[in-house]
Amino acid sequence: MTTSPPLAVGLVGAGPWARKAYGPMLAAGPETCLAAVWARRPEAARALAVEHNAQVATRYEDLFENCDAIAFAVPPDVQARLAIQAARAGKHLMLDKPLALTHDDALRLTEVVDEAGVVTQLMLTQRFRPSVRAFIESARTFDAIGARLLFLSGAFVRGPYATPWRKQHGALHDLGPHAFDLLEGALGRITRIHGCGDPRRWVALDCEHEGGAVSSLALTGIMELPASVFRVELYDRERTREFDVYAAGAEEPWPAARRAFVEAVRAGRSSDLDVHRGLHLQELIASALHALA
């Protein structure tokens, strides 16, 4: 029996998320190999590349020469610009969330991806954890009429993820995609958003879903708690169901994410967690910002 060679992936970025997640995931294989690393800080790219026996790309465009796909671990505005270049070069894309900082930039990236016909995967890490997938599947048969979601983090206060773009744009851009995605998985597509608050402090939103269900969510990235809180509660007419998303974080999502990406590339067809999913989540961020205004 013959096996396909590993997919050669170039990594853009050498910051905390690249070092913690993307670099080790892509280097571990066997479905992928980390072929090369490029970052705006050459010394950081070199350190990450050496750690995983990868090449160092002097220029971003150098990744296109010997990589079949590009993974992004950079701020959203940088991703939106560089991913367009990669798609035009015919490279498949492993994209972080959110796609961009603005809806217009996310739309432009999506249009270029469609024109190029490349495969994309949006790295909503929760979706690659077994218990999260099981929760979504069970929620679809629960017939919930309402839900509450809490996502309380201190990531924007200090530590490796207290980066300028997170501090400036706040919870809607960073935590919002995970929250919206889980609520839609459980209750169906969000059709309308009402809200109040400040994304840099605390955001409270009420969402209307197709089918009539209603959800409420609270998001913040400045809570200095002993541990983050991320949980969902579903309600039907007689029962409640609670899921601790934070506790599910003990499950490794990386092997499943890596396999799903390579399978999609080999099949030549993106899954439902693709650039279009990212664009829809960007539209929800824009709707929430409009509601807050």
pLDDT in tens, 217-270: 999 999 999 999 999 999 999 999 999 999 999 999 999 999 999 999 999 999
CATH architecture of 130-251: 2-Layer Sandwich (3.30)
Task: Report the alpha-carbon distance of residue 229 to residue 152 in Å, rounded.
Answer: 5
CATH, domain range 7-124+252-273: 3.40.50.720
| Residues carrying CATH 3.40.50.720, the chain | 7-124+252-273
Query: Residue 3 has what pLDDT?
Result: 73
Contact indicator for 243, 232 with CB cutoff of 8 Å: yes
Helices assigned H by DSSP within the chain: 16-17, 23-28, 42-51, 63-66, 76-88, 103-116, 130-139, 164-169, 171-174, 176-187, 245-248, 254-267, 275-292
Task: Report the alpha-carbon distance of residue 67 to residue 61 in Å, rounded.
Answer: 11
pLDDT band at 1; cut points 50, 70, 90: very low
Query: Residue 101 has what pLDDT?
Result: 97
Can you give the length of the chain in residues? 293
What does pLDDT average to over the chain?
Answer: 96
How far from 291 is each of 245, 280, 284, CA to CA, in Å? 26, 17, 10
CB-based contacts of 234: which residues, under 8 Å, 6+ apart? 139, 142, 144, 146, 147, 186, 187, 240, 241, 242, 243
Query: Residue 15 has what pLDDT?
Result: 95
| Residues carrying CATH 3.30.360.10, the chain | 130-251
Task: Report the alpha-carbon distance of residue 94 to residue 7 in Å, rounded.
Answer: 12
pLDDT of 167 strictly over 80: yes
DSSP, res 118: -
Task: Report the alpha-carbon distance of residue 167 to residue 161 in Å, rounded.
Answer: 9
Strand partners, 151: 219, 230
Contact indicator for 154, 228 with CB cutoff of 8 Å: yes
Q: Express each pLDDT in 112-139 by its tens digit.
A: 999 999 999 999 999 999 999 999 999 9
